[in-house]
Amino acid sequence: MISLRKAMEDYLTMRQSLGFKLRDMGYNLRHFVSFMEKNGSSIITTELALRWAQQPPDVQPAHWAARLSFVRSFARYWSATDPRTEIPPMGLLPYRTKRATPYIYSNEEIQQLLKAARNLPPTTGLRPWTYYTLLGLMAVTGMRISEVVRLDGADVDLKQGLLTVRLTKFSKSRLIPCIHPLSKSSSFISIGGISFIPGL
């Protein structure tokens, strides 16, 4: 029988080939297998999975539940090869997600931010206009900052007044209509072949 570590790497490779992003899962499952090895166990048990998942002790329960879900997913896969594997049941680590209350800027605050952006040094360079456009786009479209900074010239259709936001949350893309003043502002930033949102 192959080792648990080899099985875990095969599992991650299989998931990756199906298009899943595995940054958190890969990190956590490698950490879990190291924990298993340190405890001299090659059999996944609910008790060991729980003990590992509830580390560190000073984080939100949602963090523990996420860690346990990674193990559950791998255990389900590995149980087809090793029937001694225990699959931790759902609901072992109940939690309530605590979401931060979003802060909504008033129109006055947005105007103050835009004014401050226009006064960034050097006032004759592109930096003030870059931040002015960045903040303006976020304010009028609701785009995330990561979406704005990933835009390039091919994503901007000034004639149609459309922005294409690619690979957003859940790897989807969407079109965002631009109002006329925003299109005019954006065209200023693209003068001289400079990209729509210059590097910050």
pLDDT at 179: 58
Measured CA to CA, the distance from residue 63 to residue 96 in angstroms comes to: 11
Report the percentage of the chain scoring pLDDT > 90. Answer: 44
The answer to whether residues 93 and 79 touch, using CB atoms and an 8 Å cutoff, is: no
Measured CA to CA, the distance from residue 18 to residue 22 in angstroms comes to: 11
Tens digit of each residue's pLDDT (9 = 90 or more) over 22-52: 889 999 999 999 999 999 999 999 999 999 9
pLDDT at 146: 86
Q: Which residues are catalytic?
A: 144, 169
The answer to whether residues 134 and 149 touch, using CB atoms and an 8 Å cutoff, is: yes
Measured CA to CA, the distance from residue 5 to residue 75 in angstroms comes to: 12
Phi, psi (deg, nearest 5) at residue 70: -65, -45
* CATH 3.20.20.80 applies to domain 107-193: no
Report how far Cα 64 is from the mean position of its chain's Cα atoms. Answer: 19
Measured CA to CA, the distance from residue 72 to residue 88 in angstroms comes to: 6
Q: Please state the domain extents for the chain.
A: 4-78, 107-193
